[in-house]
Amino acid sequence: MQSDLTRALMLGALGAAVAWLLAGPLVSSGLQFWAVIAGWAVMAAGGRGVAALAAALAGAVWGAVMATAALLASVVLGGTATIVAAAAAGAALVLALAGQAVLRVLSSRPAILIGFASTWGYAKLARLDATNFAFGAGPFTTIALSLAIGVVLGWLIEVVLGLLVRNR
């Protein structure tokens, strides 16, 4: 019970700090607070340790890569046609998830799906150009980096919490 309260306090304090940083001093970075929290959630759901960290990072970035590929393919194949975008998204999801059969580091299906959905959704809702890879402006770079920061923060919290609990 006490470790749950400690975790909640740590998450709240760090969440507030990240929100302040991204809305204040780092606002021009374009990093997305919601995507940082999504990456954090992926790590929280994926377990602990370096293997979980690697799987969460690789999965989130791979999902973002595949969403970007789908966005680019939909532009090349038909621009704004809904059926083309839907087919590109479906094909990219198949390939994204099939990567699990090839690479062990892509073992986190939630990370892949969150990376894909976050990148696709951000690009569509903000009407961003998928060919823009500038940090803070392009959907891939903005979301992949935001998710990665969240994953690393989630891992660091578990490390710190493990040290606190162990040292009691």
pLDDT by 10s per residue, the chain, length 168: 466 787 788 888 888 999 999 899 988 888 899 999 999 999 888 778 888 899 999 999 999 999 999 988 888 877 666 888 888 888 888 888 888 888 888 888 899 999 999 998 898 887 777 777 777 778 889 999 999 999 999 998 888 877 776 655
DSSP 138: S
pLDDT number for residue 68: 92
Region for residue 30 given its phi and psi (left: phi exceeds 0; alpha: psi -120 to 50; beta: otherwise): left
Tell me how far apart the 2 most distant CA atoms of the chain are, in Å: 61
Enter the tokens of residue 168.
Answer: 């009691």
Alpha helix (H) ranges present in 24-138? 33-46, 49-78, 82-102, 109-125
- The structural domain count of the chain equals 1
Task: Please give the residue range of the domain that contains residue 134.
Answer: 2-166
3-class DSSP assignment, residue 129? coil
What is this structure's pTM?
Answer: 0.86
